[in-house]
Amino acid sequence: MTAVSPPMPDQHISQVLGLDGRARRWRRAAWVVVAGVLVAVGSAYAWRTVQGRTARIPGYETGVAERGDLTVAVTATGRLEPANRVQVGAEISGRIAEVKADFNHRVTRGQVLAELDTEQLRIRVDEVRAAVALAKAAVAQADATLLDTTATQQRVEQLHQRQMVSDAEDGAATAALARARAMKASALAQVQSAEAALAAANSALRRAVVRSPISGIVLSRTVERGQTVIAALQAPVLFTIAEDLAQMRLHTNVDEADVGRVREGQRATFTVDAYPGKTFDAVIIEVRHEPLLVQNVVTYDAVLSVANPDLLLRPGMTATASIQTDTHTDVLLVPNAALRWAPATTAQEQEAEKKKALKRQEGVWTVADGVLRRIPVVPGVSDGARTEVVGGSLEEGTPVILALQKVAP
């Protein structure tokens, strides 16, 4: 009869099959994975909880001390002008016979813009030309007189040497010769004077045609055909021409408190009301020393060079410019409101000496362990919204109080 062996325990079976150590290793690895997942989830939850406390303090509007770039700018307003603008006037008086240029016309140097009536001018040229001819005839007559008196004086001189004429007659002949020479010199001067008058008359006739001194575009025209212009102490302006509107100048009024930070070569941006939301670039090319007094405020003219290739900008437009005077990179920044805020109870909670110290030192407020805490800071430059922190104990990521939270009605 065959004997039957009793069944082996599970542990014995695992040992026989070599599975006991392997199973334990798998179970240990599984526990490690589960623990790692739990730690990661807990860390994420804790991080989110801390972040929630950093970004928000119950009962207060807050900001965060963070690192970033700060650009300090000076704001100024001004007007756009052409880089080169010329006012063309009439040098002589007269009636406008023709107007050959109008608003926005492109003109070239030497092109005719307008013509004055030349009837009186041509008559004047003819008169002076006749005077020149008369003066030249007088010269010819003086030459003849000089020739005659010269011959007479020579004959009298020969007779006087032979003592055939008196000394008085010889002197009279010599004097007549001198007068003849003076008459010729006078006639020659009259010719020069008449020729100069003729040149002036011809010049006036040429100036009756008003030509463009530069190539550009006509900005304005202030004369009509048939209008009479009178050139008295100054030439009346007929046209205003801009040489090149693709390159313009922005003349800005910089306050005396800011002019010390404005220098040539600094970049700027500006906007105009004609194109809301569009920003244009510019560069400072000159800061003038002449003070401008407007409503008891001293300003200085900072001239900016503006590229206008699309001709979007027009002369006379009012612009608001932001001149970049300084740039700080990777610095600790806080909102300006954090530097202005202080709790209303501070004066009651602090002693008199401490209150004076708090007022003398800049600082921001935060909440630590449910208690308001003041953090001293040393502020640097500001762009109007944020301020650089150059000293103090404020750390990056610290929530700072901006204001009390408004309660909804």
The 3-state secondary structure of the chain, one letter per residue: CCCCCCCCCHHHHHHHHCCHHHHHHHHHHHHHHHHHHHHHHHHHHHHHHHHHHHHCECCEEEEECEEEEEEEEEEEEEEEEECCEEEEECCCCEEEEEECCCCCCEECCCCEEEEECCHHHHHHHHHHHHHHHHHHHHHHHHHHHHHHHHHHHHHHHHHHHCCCCCHHHHHHHHHHHHHHHHHHHHHHHHHHHHHHHHHHHHHHHHHCEEECCCCEEEEEECCCCCCEECCCCCCCEEEEEECCCCEEEEEEEEECCCHHHCCCCCEEEEEECCCCCCCEEEEEEEEEEEEEEECCEEEEEEEEEEECCCCCCCCCCEEEEEEEEEEEEEEEEEEHHHHHCCCCCHHHHCCHHHHHHHHHCCEEEEEECCEEEEEEEEEEEECCCEEEEEEECCCCCCEEEEEECCCCC
Given a cut of 70, is residue 5 above it in pLDDT?
A: no
pLDDT tier for residue 4 given thresholds of 50, 70 and 90: very low
Q: Do domains 61-67+338-404 and 74-82+242-330 have the same CATH topology?
A: no
Q: Using alpha carbons only, give the angle 304, 309, 310 rounded to the nearest 5 degrees.
A: 120
**Whole-prediction pTM:** 0.64
183-218 pLDDT per residue, tens:
999 999 999 999 999 999 999 999 999 999 999 999
16-69 pLDDT per residue, tens:
344 445 555 555 555 555 555 444 444 444 434 334 334 457 778 899 999 999
Q: Which residue has the higher pLDDT, 359 or 361?
A: 361
pLDDT tier for residue 381 given thresholds of 50, 70 and 90: confident
Q: Which residue has the higher pLDDT, 358 or 99?
A: 99
Rounded mean pLDDT of the chain? 84
What per-residue confidence (pLDDT) applies to 22?
52
Domain boundaries defined on the chain = 10-52, 61-67+338-404, 74-82+242-330, 88-116+211-239, 118-207
300-339 pLDDT per residue, tens:
999 999 999 999 999 999 999 999 998 889 999 999 999 8
Given a cut of 60, is residue 357 above it in pLDDT?
A: no
pLDDT tier for residue 355 given thresholds of 50, 70 and 90: low
Q: Which residue has the higher pLDDT, 13 or 200?
A: 200
Given a cut of 90, is residue 85 above it in pLDDT?
A: yes
What per-residue confidence (pLDDT) applies to 322?
95
Burial 307-324 (b: 16+ CB within 10 A, else e): ebeeeebebebebebbbe
CATH label, 74-82+242-330, candidates 3.30.110.40, 2.102.10.10, 2.40.30.170, 3.40.50.2000: 2.40.30.170
User: Which residue matches tokens 């008085």?
Assistant: 168
What per-residue confidence (pLDDT) applies to 19?
42
225-273 pLDDT per residue, tens:
999 999 887 789 999 999 989 999 999 999 999 999 999 999 999 999 9
Fold topology of 88-116+211-239? OB fold (Dihydrolipoamide Acetyltransferase, E2P) (2.40.50)
Given a cut of 80, is residue 166 above it in pLDDT?
A: yes
Fold topology of 61-67+338-404? 2.40.420
What per-residue confidence (pLDDT) applies to 241?
96
